[in-house]
Structure 1
Amino acid sequence: MSSLDAREALRLDDVRKVYGTADNPVTALDGVTLRLPTGSFTAVMGPSGSGKSTLLQCAAGLDRATSGSVTVAGQPIPTGGEAAVTKFRRDRIGFVFQQFNLLPTLTALENVTLPARLAGRRVDRKRCATLLAQVGLGDRLHHRPAQLSGGQQQRVAIARALASSPALIFADEPTGALDSRAAREVLALLATAVRDHGQTVVMVTHDPAAAAYAGAVVFLADGRIVGHLARPTADAVAERLAHLTDAVAVAGV
């Protein structure tokens, strides 16, 4: 592979993120190197404070790494002003958040078309309506968020994330606000997007059952990658996570 290969949906090279001051630095990411191929579904897990959220924020261009590089679909995240980074995210990255982040005054269809409108691109309402139908909301196009269940709102968020055909979708605890049945339906949708449409998904989660929907799990501890698990099961993930949590607790004593 070349150094910048579009077959890699996400590439991190020696990424460090340090908060605080020179006298009191806090290292959130400590030299993370990671390669994720296009068409993969990866869960990111680790004990509290392991760096999961920071990894997502730096990988998605929501926060700047202190050092190292981040590449999405063969293109490095710009190092210039915020406008360039915002355009980069709009063109290449989709997001699914725990709290849905839908605008309450807009319908489901309007929420899905919103990113294109904000980016000044042509709005393909037919395609957006088709995406909503594909996530089971073909009869809810004109419903506002308050008229939808939590699971339905998250389906709208998934359709919105898919609308721009992004190179990469980041899902941050996407089932954290859902009951178990809605959570399973949302996770199945994400898995289908990967399996049937070649989408690439990176999901931060604390739930072993959610991680079992992914094709692989990356484990973090103290800002470093400390393990991988292919073809995960909920039991295997829970066991690995328990060992990590115990090890971090012992180290902190």
Structure 2
Amino acid sequence: MAMFDRKRQPPSRTAEALRLESVSKVYGTGDGAVTALDDVSLRLPAGSFTAVMGPSGSGKSTLLQCAAGLDRPDSGRILVDGAEMGGSSEAALTKFRRERIGFIFQQYNLLPTLTVEENTALPLRLAGRRTDPERIRAVLTQVGLGRRLGHLPDQLSGGQRQRVAIARALVTRPGVIFADEPTGALDTRSARDVLALLRETVQVHGSTVVLVTHDPVAASYADRVLFLADGRLAGHLAAPTAEAVAERMTRLGDRVAERHADDFPLMEV
């Protein structure tokens, strides 16, 4: 695996990469309303690798979508790299995302007609920023794709496509990179390579990564794991191992099931 250029200094950043202050999000109205996030507050330091986990319906996907500017919370504040996410228009929110946020998705989201190099440069072009061919090629070399610049996505393996997605997220030097189940479509070996690369971007490149996952092994690559349940923070685990994460998730799932059983007791017939 290619290592990042240690001579290249990370961009100047604030000490706090991401902050959520009393963030809430409700879908629906009346009796059908579902509280996806319930007064969530958290702070993540720059240069950290955080995994977010929780049972199905816990709010982890909504947390990522709101924190990444893909959805708007109903209340609360979100700050990325010291700047508050806001703006009354979708254009303002789009500009904020392009300047401060990187994305890595499960299905890569690469354009099939663009080469590896062109896909990597796309965020810069969309933001109207100057594209530096040397910078783009350096990032692709750092993720192990220096000899694949002219290849199209369908000429790459799944793991290589996800490496392109990582390079695309890195090239704009974002304040935070959000990764949504980035290994869900990969085989075990490719998944481990991608997770190791994400950890390397934090340790060597100074990036801040927030990983949403259901996989305890994937979460074990992070510095710490945040747990959600019923839209609320339900604890954290530092220096996680796969076994410790799995045990915590089992206990959390049991508690959630017990609470729901109390809310909806079985009826005798």
TM tier, smaller:
over 0.9
The correspondence of residues 8-47 of structure 1 with structure 2, limited to 5 A, is 8-47=16-55
Structure 2: gaps (5+ residues): 1-12, 262-269
**2:155 maps to which of 147, 151, 169:** 147
Q: 1:22: Cα distance to partner?
A: 3.7
**1:70 maps to which of 56, 70, 78:** 78
Distance in 1 (CA, whole Å) between partners of 2:237 and 2:31 is: 37
Q: Secondary structure at the match of 2:195?
A: helix
Distance in 2 (CA, whole Å) between partners of 1:191 and 1:62 is: 24
Q: Please give the per-residue CA displacement for 1:141-164, whole angstroms capped at 9, x wherever unaligned.
A: 111010000000000000000000
Q: Please give the per-residue CA displacement for 1:194-244, whole angstroms capped at 9, x wherever unaligned.
A: 001111000000000000000000000000000000000000000000111
Q: Secondary structure at the match of 2:204?
A: helix
Which residue identity does 1:224 align to in structure 2? Answer: R
Distance in 2 (CA, whole Å) between partners of 1:79 and 1:103 is: 29
Which residue identity does 1:19 align to in structure 2? Answer: Y
Q: Does 1:201 align with 2:209?
A: yes
Q: Please give the per-residue CA displacement for 1:22-46, whole angstroms capped at 9, x wherever unaligned.
A: 4532100001000000000000000
Which residue identity does 2:245 align to in structure 1? Answer: V
Aligned to 1:136: 144
Q: Secondary structure at the match of 1:121?
A: coil
Q: 1:79: Cα distance to partner?
A: 3.1
Count of aligned pairs between the two proteins? 249
Q: 1:122: Cα distance to partner?
A: 0.6
**2:108 maps to which of 81, 85, 100:** 100
Distance in 2 (CA, whole Å) between partners of 1:125 and 1:154 is: 20
Q: Which shifted more, 58-67 or 117-126?
A: 117-126
Q: 1:248: Cα distance to partner?
A: 1.2
Identical pairs, percent: 68
Which residue identity does 1:191 align to in structure 2? Answer: R
Aligned to 1:115: 123
Aligned to 1:241: 249
Aligned to 1:192: 200
Aligned to 1:157: 165
> Rg bigger for which structure?
2
Q: 1:20: Cα distance to partner?
A: 0.2
Aligned-residue CA RMSD (Å)? 1.0
Query: TM-score of the superposition, structure 2-length normalised?
Result: 0.91
Distance in 2 (CA, whole Å) between partners of 1:21 and 1:246 is: 28
Moved over 3 A (4+): none
